[in-house]
Structure 1
Amino acid sequence: MTEPTKYRWADYGVLGLSIFLVFCLLFEPYIELPNLVAWSGRLHPLVLHFPIVLLLVAVLLGLTNRPIPKLLLTAGVLSALITAVSGFFLGKDVPIKGELLFWHQWLGGATALIAALWYALERNKLTAALFSKILQVAVLGLIVVTGHYGGMVTHGEGFLAFPAQESRDVIPENPVIYKDIVARILDDKCVSCHNPNKQKGELVMTGFDELVRGGENGDIFVAGNLVESEMIRRLHLPLGDEEHMPPEGKSQLGENEIAILEQWIATGASDTVRLDQLSESEPLVALIKAMMAPDPSEKWAELPKVADTALQAMASDYLSISRIADGSEALGAVLFPPPGYDPKTVLALERVAENIVHLDLSGIPIGEDEIDLISTFANLERLELDRTPIGDSDVRKLSSLNRLSLLKIYDTAITDESLSALKQMSALKSLYLYRTEVSEEGIASLKKERPDLLVDNGIDRATNAFFVANDTVPEN
Structure 2
Amino acid sequence: MIQEFIGHFHPLFVHLPIGILAIAVLLKWWFIKKPIEQSAEVMSFVLKIAFVSAVFSCITGYVLQLGGGYDEEMVSNHQWVGIALTVFTGVLAFKDFPQKVTIGILGIISILLAVTGHLGGSITHGEDYLSFKPAKKERAPITDINKAVIYSDIVQPILEEKCYTCHSSKKQKGELRLDTAEWITKGGENGTSFVAHDTENSILFQRLLLPEVEKEHMPPKGKPQPTENEIKLIEWWINEGGDYKMTVAETKDRSQVAGALKSLTAVSVAAISTIPFEKGREIDSKALEALKETGAVVLPVGESSNYLSVNYLGKKSIDVTALQAMLPLKDNIVWLKLNDTNVDDKSCELIAECENLTQLYLGGTAITNEGLKELASLDHLQVLNLTNTAINNEGLKPLSSLKDLRNIYLFGSKVDKNNWSELEALFPNASLDSGGYVVPTLATDTVMVVKGD
In structure 2, what is the equivalent of residue 160 of structure 1? Answer: 130
Name the CA distance, whole Å, in 2 between partners of 1:227 and 1:49.
41
In structure 1, what is the equivalent of residue 62 of structure 2? Answer: 88
Q: Which runs of 5+ in 2 are unaligned?
A: 33-38, 270-411, 424-453
Alpha-carbon RMSD? 3.1
In structure 2, what is the equivalent of residue 109 of structure 1? Answer: 83
- Contact 1:238/1:244, CA 8 A, preserved across alignment: yes
Name the CA distance, whole Å, in 2 between partners of 1:209 and 1:447.
48
TM-score (norm 2): 0.53
Structure 1 residues 289 and 150, CA, compared in 2 at 3 Å: closer, same or farther?
A: same
Instruction: Give, in angstroms, the shift of residue 142 of structure 1.
Output: 1.0
Letter in 2 for 1:258: I
What CA deviation, in whole Å up to 9, does each residue of 1:96-144 have, x standing for no partner? Answer: 64322222222222211221122122xxx2x244432332111111111
Letter in 1 for 2:6: S
1:58-77 matches, cutoff 5 A: 58-62=24-28, 66=32, 67=39, 69=42, 70-77=44-51
Please state if 1:256 is matched with 2:229.
Answer: yes
Letter in 2 for 1:259: K
Instruction: Give, in angstroms, the shift of residue 42 of structure 1.
Output: 0.8
Letter in 1 for 2:86: A
Q: Which runs of 5+ in 1 are unaligned?
A: 1-34, 297-444, 457-476
Please state if 1:210 is matched with 2:210.
Answer: no
Letter in 2 for 1:272: K
Name the CA distance, whole Å, in 2 between partners of 1:295 and 1:249.
30
In structure 2, what is the equivalent of residue 54 of structure 1? Answer: 20
Structure 1 residues 161 and 61, CA, compared in 2 at 3 Å: closer, same or farther?
A: same
1:319-398 matches, cutoff 5 A: none
Instruction: Give, in angstroms, the shift of residue 89 of structure 1.
Output: 2.0
Letter in 1 for 2:234: L
Please state if 1:454 is matched with 2:452.
Answer: no
Instruction: Give, in angstroms, the shift of residue 256 of structure 1.
Output: 1.5
Please state if 1:197 is matched with 2:163.
Answer: no
Letter in 2 for 1:89: V
In structure 1, what is the equivalent of residue 198 of structure 2? Answer: 225
Letter in 1 for 2:116: T
What CA deviation, in whole Å up to 9, does each residue of 1:241-299 have, x standing for no partner? Answer: 33322233433322211111100111122223334554684434432223448799xxx
Please state if 1:141 is matched with 2:115.
Answer: no
In structure 2, what is the equivalent of residue 42 of structure 1? Answer: 8
**Matched residue SS, 2:104:** helix
Structure 1 residues 194 and 95, CA, compared in 2 at 3 Å: closer, same or farther?
A: closer
Letter in 2 for 1:247: P
**Matched residue SS, 1:269:** coil
Name the CA distance, whole Å, in 2 between partners of 1:258 and 1:89.
35
Equivalenced residue count is: 270
- Contact 1:171/1:180, CA 8 A, preserved across alignment: no
**Matched residue SS, 2:223:** coil
Name the CA distance, whole Å, in 2 between partners of 1:289 and 1:279.
17
Q: Percent identity?
A: 32
- Contact 1:204/1:214, CA 8 A, preserved across alignment: yes
Name the CA distance, whole Å, in 2 between partners of 1:295 and 1:101.
44
Pick one of 145, 150, 159 that aligns with 2:120. 150
Name the CA distance, whole Å, in 1 between partners of 2:80 and 2:419.
60
- Contact 1:63/1:136, CA 8 A, preserved across alignment: no
- Contact 2:240/2:251, CA 8 A, preserved across alignment: no
Letter in 1 for 2:239: A
Please state if 1:271 is matched with 2:244.
Answer: yes
Larger radius of gyration: 2
Letter in 1 for 2:81: L
Structure 1 residues 115 and 194, CA, compared in 2 at 3 Å: closer, same or farther?
A: same
